[in-house]
Structure 1
Amino acid sequence: MHPHPDDSTGARVARARKTRRLTQRGLATRASVSYSTVTKVEQGAIAASPAVLGALARALSIPVTELTGQPYMDDLRADQVDGLIQPLREALDLYDVGADPEVRPRSVAELHAESERLCAAARRAELRQVTAALPGLLTELTAAAHEADSELAWKALAASYRTGHDVAAKFGMLDLCTIALERMEWASVRASDPIGSAVRQCMRGLVYLRGGDYRTGLRLVQSGMRTVEQADPGVEREVVTGRLHLGAAVLYARAGDDRADEHLAEAERYAAKTGEQQTVRWLCFGPKNVAVHRVSAYAERDRYAEAVEAASKMSASGLPASRVAHHHAEVARAQMVIGRNDDAFGSLKLARSVAPQQTRLHPLVRETFAGLEAAKRRLPDSFLSFGAWLKN
């Protein structure tokens, strides 16, 4: 089934523009986007890039998710995830009322182990399972942290709030992302954990990246860099610092600023020291992830041929499924833009094979698929089947 034309990104842009009583040329001027891009996006002739969507959303004073149509509630209902969101919201809300006398939490050690398990599952993009288990864990950890008031309990609670952010981001619920990160900072302060606070600033910067506010995102990442300097020297500090440089690289790239390359070089320097790391604060960092971000930084600056070439020279195998699927989605868009539509469709299928639920809910995947449809080139029969899977 093909998406209804009134439910496309282009149609949403047109509706929002008309609500603001702007002409296409007026929107283009306000967003610093070419007039031809605005008209083609509204007509569905081209797929809007994340940077274009961010610029249009800011010019229209609306969230990017209003243009992408997130969260995709029909898909969440089909996957039986929608009913799991409210318990997560409630668990995030009841953070400061002390221990619930009716809750008898497991030991802090057991809860910490469960927190680590869910963090790892989120990296594998097991979104439904994580969302189902997380509210109960947060309830227990909240009680345990208030009762034990131990560093380990607060750290485990902060890490679980971060997992809440991760699943909310995959579902396109940016308001829930913000709430989860506020709770993460609250718990990190009680754990006297500058590393946790720095990770939170990095994640917060990426929320602003998705919202198209790159300047604020960079300010948050820079704040994280100052915070991580308060941590003791060691691999944790190096991994988090390297990840902050990767965050800065993507933010600069999305803004079209070549200072992205300086931060990639810094991240590469840290990665050479840390090697491949995936369990340090459940951050994926190392030479492979730097290479993945280099591909992303090329694509964000519309250097699509360089992005495809860089991707052809590296392998994302061994990285978490969530990161690998996102990488294949970014490569697919770059391949589509330079006219390699068969390869682009192949990359979309790779993303689906690695992390099907995440891929189905990814706005970049949907925009790329729409662009391939608009190209009207001869593609294999399985192309239509992919479209039906994406929308059903």
Structure 2
Amino acid sequence: MPRNWLDDDHTGARIAHHRKLAGLTQRGLAQRLPYSYSLLHQVEAGYKNASPDLVSAVAKALHIDVTALTGQPYMTELQQDKLDSLIRPIREALDLYDLGADPDLTPRSTEQLVAAAEGLCSQVRATQLNKAAATLPAVIAELTTAAHRTPSSELWQALASTYRSAHDVTVKLGFYDLSGIALDRMDWAAQRASDPLLGAVRQYMRALVYFREGEHTIGLRLIGAGHTILQQAPRTAQSLAVTGQLHLGATVIAARAQDKDNVGTHLANARSIAMQTGEQGHVHWLSFGPANVSVHEVSANVEMHQYGQAIENAAKVHLPNGWAMSRRAHFYVDRAHAEMETGRHEAALTSLLQARRMAPQQTRYHSGARETIRRLVHARRKTPDTLDNLAAWIGA
């Protein structure tokens, strides 16, 4: 066990810190949660994993942001990955939206800018976060100027897509304030593009913000708003894919709320739509289809603490060739969580290593992966070198 396992840099310690700031005892806080005093005690001491739903419940009870408890962003690791210096230019680029065209800027052609926006999406899906973060500010600046000078649906769509990439990069690195701003900018551009599919995707992504915060009711209302926006779009394979993705978003939100009936309904709706669409990997980069339905079912199992069922369902998942590395890695993190909770520690380590190979930066900054690694370290009297290396890599 690393000597710094029980230091002040784990989620349980941060829960204890903010609980004390609120003037609450452990029993006092436990009374405000749908969790036992015993579990809270063990989490604060670092002996049990702080699950995402417990973290969101604590944040809600203490009236603080989830990031105060998760400790994101991880500045030491960001500095090691040379990502910290890339955040400020993104922040500045997000402020350009209402300044009009930059007189000192000569943007590339519309075709080249659309290709640049697509390239950013591709880099994010491949979890090449350094490349995407470095390129984002310039592409946002060019598209903003081009869209103001010669407005067109194509340019506004490309700008909305680039804002979406800004959201994806910043949320993966833990800068949730910036990810929220990026979603607001995405809405601003999507309205000018008159693209209901983009508007619905934006509502889906907003709903996932509330999923992280544990505000299940608001999250499901945002999903409903996304369905309403889609009524403006013709029925096509693309609009069906977005509809299905909205149902998948509702599935995991309902799962965190432990609403099994809603989980079953939304999952069944998504599966029915996926049978009609097949794999749709390039509808605003959503990767909707049968594979994503199966992966979300595993996520829902984990959220509802059905770990044995999660492992059983994970064994049936077949990920298509060319599927986004970001989605593949997320699946293996969920799988590792279920394996760890059922005592399959070697299997959990294998799954985490697989996630790391596929998407190293995403896995390094994934709060669920970090907590699972910490839990594995604590559970082992003698940790193998691979686990020691993994723990050191995340800063445990």
Scaled by the length of structure 1, the TM-score of the pair is: 0.98
The one-character-per-residue Cα deviations of 1:151-197 (angstroms, maximum 9, x if unpaired) are: 00000000000000001110111111110010000001101111111
Is residue 307 from structure 1 mapped to residue 310 from structure 2 by the alignment? yes
Report matched runs for 1:1-392 at 5 Å.
2-3=4-5, 5-258=7-260, 259-318=262-321, 319-391=323-395
State the distance in 2 between where 1:44 and 1:278 align: 40
Identity of aligned residues (%): 49
| Corresponding letter in the other structure for 2:265 | E
State the 1:32 CA deviation. Answer: 2.1
State the distance in 1 between where 2:137 and 2:354 align: 31
State the distance in 2 between where 1:110 and 1:352 align: 33
Structure 2: where are the runs of 5+ without partners?
none
Question: Which segment drifts farther, 219-228 or 382-391?
Answer: 382-391
State the 1:212 CA deviation. Answer: 1.6
Aligned 8 A contact 1:177 1:207 in 2: no
State the 1:378 CA deviation. Answer: 4.7
State the distance in 1 between where 2:318 and 2:360 align: 20
State the 1:388 CA deviation. Answer: 1.4
State the 1:322 CA deviation. Answer: 0.5
State the 1:277 CA deviation. Answer: 1.4
Pick closer, same or farther for the CA change 1:219–1:71 going to 2, 3 Å. same
| Corresponding letter in the other structure for 1:224 | G
Scaled by the length of structure 2, the TM-score of the pair is: 0.97
Q: CA RMSD in A?
A: 1.2
Corresponding residue SS for 2:94: helix
Aligned 8 A contact 1:221 1:244 in 2: yes
State the distance in 1 between where 2:382 and 2:259 align: 36
State the 1:29 CA deviation. Answer: 1.1
Aligned 8 A contact 1:253 1:300 in 2: yes
